[in-house]
Amino acid sequence: MKSIACYNMKGGVGKTSSAVNFAYLSAANGLRTIIWDLDPQGAATFHFGIAPLQKAKLKKLVKDKKMIKTLVEATPYENLSAIPAGFEYRNMDLVMEDSKKSRKKLNKIIESFAADYDIFIFDCPPSISNLSDTVFSTVDYIFMPVVPAAMPQQTFLRVKMYLEEMDNPGAELIPFFNMVDRRKSGHRKIMWDNKKAFPQIFCDNYIPARADIERMGMRQAPLHTFAPKSDAARAFADLWKELRARTKIQDPSGTLA
């Protein structure tokens, strides 16, 4: 099983829309997929039309891998399950205070799902915290959306440096450009500069800024369920194919991407 965190320290960069669409595309490829919405805002939970958790006992939730399995919800889509968010998740950072113990607990949780799922996706809250450190040290990959603008660019550099300075980051950082407007010379320049400065790190494919993606919230659904022929849907499909190739995610037939 592959474990993936969709993460950015900065909010408003399309992290959750990316996580939701990646989860849907993974399941559509025949991969048994589960997404855990760790963000107390619960946007991924909302997009799948699932009720948020009520009064979750966080310490028991993290410690008891049997309990967390009782929280798994089916989504309307084949091969795709979700663990919904709860507002209590705002205190998850306190539960993850002991990094070594927390890492072991999260590892055990992921391992407990390995027999039933091929892909485990975390939709992480936009912060640097004990929770994010635990996730970084546990998952295989971090998929990071980056808007090609000055402040998101600084955030990317900060996160990249932070991961390099961690004792045991564990995960490989794979950034991709999101909300791209190629009419803007600044967007084109930042994309070009990053490709030159960080060869073979940024994905070749990117996600354009499109109203169809913003409509996901109104539809409470992944993009491909209501606008499958849109250029945004094609962009996500192409990006997911590239990510699968880079991470060697195989479909059930053993085929890469």
The structural domains of the chain, ordered by start, are: 2-247 (3.40.50.300)
Q: In what order do the strands lie in the sheet with 119-123?
A: 73-74, 80-83, 33-37, 119-123, 2-6, 141-146, 172-177
Neighbours of 78 (CB within 10 A): 11
52 contacts: CB under 8 Å, gap ≥ 6: 42, 45, 46, 84, 85, 86, 87
pLDDT of the chain, 257 residues: tens digit per residue: 999 999 999 989 999 999 999 999 999 999 999 999 999 999 999 999 999 888 767 767 776 667 888 889 999 999 999 999 988 878 787 777 666 777 788 888 899 999 999 999 999 999 888 888 889 989 999 999 999 999 999 999 999 999 988 876 678 999 999 999 999 999 999 999 998 898 889 999 999 999 999 999 999 999 999 999 999 999 999 999 999 999 998 776 666 55
What b/e sequence results for 85-98 when a residue is b if at least 16 CB atoms lie within 10 Å of its CB, and e otherwise? Answer: bbebbeebbebbee
113 contacts: CB under 8 Å, gap ≥ 6: 1, 34, 69, 120
Question: In this predicted structure, what is the pLDDT of residue 67?
Answer: 80
